[in-house]
Chains A and B, each alone.
Chain A
Amino acid sequence: MIANNLRATLAKRLENTIIISILLVIYNLIFPIHNSLILFLINEVLVFGVLYFLYHYMNSIVETKKESPLSLILNSGILTALIFFIISVTDALFGKNVQENYHADIFNSLISIAIDFVFIVAVIYIFSTLRTLFFLRQVKDQSLYFNTMIIFFAITFFSDLSQVNLSLDFIHDAFYVVSIVLICLNSLKVSWIAFLSKKQKTYLLIISIVLSILFGINFSLLSENTPAKIFLSNFSSGFVSIYSLIMIYGMIYFGIIFFTTLFHMPTAEAFDRKSEEVSSLMDLTKLITQVFDFKELADTVTSITTKVCNSYAAWLVTKVDEEYELNSVKNIAYVDADRLTKKFLQKEEPLTSVNILDSSLLNQFNSGEVLNYKSIAIAPLKVHGEISGYLFAARRHEVNFDEEDKRSIQAFADYAAVALENAKLIAESIEKERLEKELDVARDIQRRILPNKIPESEQLKITAMFIPAFEVGGDYYDFFELSDDKLGFVVADVSGKGITAAFIMAEIKGIFESLAKLIISPTELLIKINEVLKNSLDRKSFVTAVYGIVDKKNGILNFVRAGHPPVIYCSEGKVERLLPSGLGLGLDYSNGFANSLKEMKINLKNGDIIAFYSDGIPEAKNAEYKDYGYDRFEKIIQKNCNKTLDEISNEIIKDLTLFSKDNTQHDDITLVLFRWYSDKN
């Protein structure tokens, strides 16, 4: 959009320029000699119009190249040389005869017009270049000075009335002189030179002196009565003034540039270094937002350090648990960097500012020991006032690190410290995100493992409730239809939390599903499962479980307990804790496990309730870290034993939640309730 607008403006300006140029050409062909005041004035206005529109058009073109001032200057130089060439050639071709008798024939007119237009274009291009250079890198708005100068140029243009009345010449001369004064003033705006590199300055030094001389020659050539001068002054005397003013401008401006650059030369190197530092810091700033990898960032830091500090080698250490860990090296072997770090950072007070080990100190060591380094700078990496590591820069040449180096290293180290800290924080947050993802996976596994349908028969009612903890706790319950009459069930709890617990759960489910139908005795089943687990459980993991089989015809319940919390049995208003002996699964793989298991058999009576659950219930904690405990649990069952199973289950959870409301739920909660009805009803 903007580019389109710009193009449209450019086209418009070019159009104007061409139209007025054609008008001027036609006018000059019709009236080759302007001998009356009216003809002269119309011609001057037309020439000024061409200059004005061309200047605007050129400005827009030159402006786009302002980032490469040297090429602009070179272009002006070529045009200046072209002017010089034309002046010389016309002088050689036409020589004296033009001076003496100038005939306004068609041939002369055409040549005159052609030469005039080349001059106009060249002069305007040079002027636009000078204008662009004037505004280059100006901090304040300087357009007032420049516009004043342009106004004086215009007045000078129109005040050349020598053809009309020679006595009015002084007006023209006065404005001419004022214009030159303004030119001198405006020529002093050359601050952009400072931003050039040393190489560019050298180049500018040569080109500016050549240009200054060339402008001077062009100016003097046209002051004499050369054929070119006659062509021009016949064409437009105002343009001759403008021409000479711009030649003077060029001569003065490039003369000043020559001397300024000359004086800038000694500091060019220092300036180069500073700008290198600045651009390195800018590179680093860019990296902070782009590079999240700590190692990559550390490598960049060391590599930029060698550039910024003009050093041979650089390395970076960060503090990890009071030890220094080498993160990145540049031009030095890991082992050497490690050795030097230990040598110079050992047991000293932490360095709070840049420390320089200069050649007088390093010379005390064997040169092999310090790898021929003549001077080493150690800069602390500080984040929030704490030292997170050190940046080393080592030089092999004889120049010690000076105060200036010290400052730049510190500035760089401060920047690097922030960047590295940033990378570290991002890595941590990614890790945190990964852990959360892992939790999601674990929860998902658990959700898929638990049964979504609870079996039921007319005489046996079952309800199951499961409340997961934030971190998966490893609870598992399941039902197995063993035959028409027999229902197997398990409530288990895997030790540990999170994804490992979830995987063990999945495994346990698989084992129970495959073995429950094959091994009818609960005791035998658990013994077999314990054997299978030997190969898959690690030493610190175990599983507690209650496994039982209930006969849906006669209400006979057989169960074994393997390290699991007691089964709560509520019969005729009385509550009992059933705790047959039994080791947890995975605790012992010898006969100890089989020997410890005692199977329990219960003949369920009408209305009996039996509760299987995980330790998430008795071990739920309140704000004072007191356990919910078995007594409260039994009491709430006893109190509600005449309600429906769902109601009892809700009452238990309500009571439990009330008790532990000021503490978070640490473990999964599983509650499976059975109720037996002797009669079919």
Chain B
Amino acid sequence: MADFNVNLRCFESVSIIDVKGYLDAHTAPELENVFNKLLNEKKFRVVVNFNELNYISSAGLGVFMAYIETMRQNNGDIKFSNLKDNVYNIFDLLGFPLLYEFYKDEKEAINKFIEQEKS
């Protein structure tokens, strides 16, 4: 099976999750663990960096859907950045960009959070 890797970073109040490899039904629980940890620590501002993600399956998409509502209820959000074209197409087909925020670069996503905080 293809590899999957997840890494968590922080920038000020924003948590950045780097996902890498193949996100599918078998590797999704790893990502869920990270989200659960963030919820426990009450960190609701999340940027997911897809720079090194090669593939996402429907189960992988499900992970974001499961948590984004909770984040939004707590004045946070999950923002998506640095998606490769093929991965973006999968999100796009489903209509994710109509519901969630996508950015070319994680900096933009982080700035968006910081602006929100100031206003």
Contact = CB atoms under 8 A, between A and B. Distances in A.
A510 interface: no
Contact of A587 (B22, B59, B63, B95): B95
Contact of B59 (A495, A581, A627): A495
B5 to A, nearest CB: 15
A542 B98 CA distance: 15
Contacts of A627: 86
B10 interface: no
B93 A495 contact: no
Interface in A578-594: 579, 581-584, 587-588, 592
A493 interface: yes
A587 B66 CA distance: 10
A583 B99 contact: yes
Contact of A592 (B2, B25, B54, B99): B99
Contact size range, B: 20 to 34
A495 B95 contact: no
A343 interface: no
A584 B96 CA distance: 8
A667 B57 CA distance: 10
Interface in A602-629: 621, 625, 627
Given A582-B95, A583-B99, A587-B95, A542 B58 contact: yes
Interface in B40-61: 54-55, 57-59, 61
A135 B86 CA distance: 86
A625 B56 CA distance: 12
Contact of B94 (A540, A544, A625): A544
Interface in B14-68: 22, 24-25, 54-55, 57-59, 61-63, 65-66
A542 B59 contact: no
B69 interface: yes
Nearest to B66: A540
Contact of A542 (B2, B22, B25, B65): B65
A540 B99 contact: no
A541 B28 CA distance: 13
Interface string B53-97: 011011101110110010000000000000000100000011110
A461 interface: no
A563 interface: yes
Interface in A349-373: none
Nearest to A566: B93
B99 A542 contact: no
A642 interface: no
Interface string B86-119: 1000000111101100000000000000000000
A584 B55 contact: no
B62 to A, nearest CB: 3
Nearest to A493: B58
A587 B62 CA distance: 9
Given A497-B25, A539-B66, A625 B2 contact: yes
A496 B59 CA distance: 5
B74 to A, nearest CB: 15
Contacts of A77: none
A539 B58 CA distance: 13
B40 to A, nearest CB: 18
A541 to B, nearest CB: 6
A564 interface: yes
B23 to A, nearest CB: 13
A588 B99 contact: yes
B96 to A, nearest CB: 7
B95 A584 contact: yes
B31 to A, nearest CB: 11
Contact of A539 (B59, B65, B96): B65
Interface in A188-243: none
A130 to B, nearest CB: 74
Given A497-B25, A539-B65, A540-B66, A596 B95 contact: yes
Contacts of B99: 583, 587-588, 592
A592 B93 contact: no
A584 B94 contact: yes
A389 interface: no
A488 interface: no
Given A493-B58, A495-B61, A542 B66 contact: no
B18 to A, nearest CB: 19
Contacts of B55: 621, 625
Nearest to B62: A540
Most buried by A among B24, B59, B94: B94
A541 B64 CA distance: 10
Nearest to B65: A540
A621 B57 CA distance: 12
Given A539-B65, A539-B69, A583-B99, A625 B54 contact: yes
A592 B94 contact: no
B77 to A, nearest CB: 15
A565 interface: yes
A495 B56 CA distance: 12
B52 to A, nearest CB: 13
Contacts of B22: 625
A650 B54 CA distance: 30
Contacts of B66: 538-540
Contacts of A592: 98-99
Contacts of B2: 625
Contacts of A581: 95, 98
17 contacts: A495-B58, A496-B58, A540-B59, A540-B63, A540-B66, A563-B94, A579-B93, A583-B95, A584-B94, A587-B95, A588-B98, A588-B99, A596-B95, A596-B98, A625-B54, A625-B55, A666-B24
Interface of B: 2, 22, 24-25, 54-55, 57-59, 61-63, 65-66, 69, 86, 93-96, 98-99
Given A496-B59, A539-B69, 17 more contacts: A496-B62, A539-B65, A539-B66, A540-B62, A540-B63, A540-B66, A544-B94, A563-B93, A566-B93, A583-B95, A587-B94, A587-B95, A588-B98, A592-B98, A596-B95, A625-B22, A667-B57
